[in-house]
Amino acid sequence: METVHIDELTFKLYLSEDQIVPEIKRVAQEIERDLSEDDPLFICILNGAYMFSSDLSKQFQKPYELSFAKYSSYSGLSSTGVLQEVMRPQADVKDRVVVILEDLIDSGFTLTEVVKLYKQRGAKDVKIAVMLSKPDAHKDCAVKPDYVGLEIPNDFIVGRGLDYCGRGRMYRDIYIKVDE
């Protein structure tokens, strides 16, 4: 599909699945190379990172532990500036190398707060793997992703786990908001 419509917004094709999957494979190889001796705990941040987490986890050659967490800091198109832990990971982060799997880093607020939280809970180290990064949006952020699939401009996107008001996550491709 070249365009999709969600509520009153129109989005056009931005990144195809064929462009995204090789970058996710590369990220998996980098993580495995760097952390193969650490028995890392991967934590998928729901809802957005479920596709990234699934695609990434299929690439690993060694056993791993995967848990899920859910945080909320967005309403519509923008951040609220308040992080809420909706669902805590079921696995204990204490004394573990934790790799946070996130769909996107834009402002960096959520990831900054989650890294702090896991360190307070005793994680040995916390790494960040993101499918997409908006470097212009998080240039002043305290945390930087350790592993990045693709860097993109600071535009609003949907698809491949990313949503607008809970809709649009199911697309295999990524679509960018069209200004009307």
The DSSP annotation for 36-86 comes to: TTS-PEEEEEETTTHHHHHHHHTT-SS--EEEEEEEEEEETTEEEEEEEEE
Paired tokens of 167: 């809709």
Strands (E), the chain: 3-6, 9-15, 41-46, 65-75, 78-87, 97-105, 125-133, 147-151, 157-158, 174-177
* Per-residue pLDDT of the chain in tens (180 residues, 90 and over written 9): 899 999 999 999 999 999 999 999 999 999 999 998 888 999 999 999 999 999 999 998 888 899 999 998 766 556 677 888 999 999 999 999 999 999 998 878 889 999 999 999 999 999 999 999 988 766 667 788 999 999 999 899 999 999 998 899 999 999 999 986
Based on the residue annotation, tell me whether 18 is a catalytic residue of this protein. Answer: no
- From 103, 106, 146, 163, the catalytic residue: 106
Point out which residues pair with 13 in neighbouring strands.
175
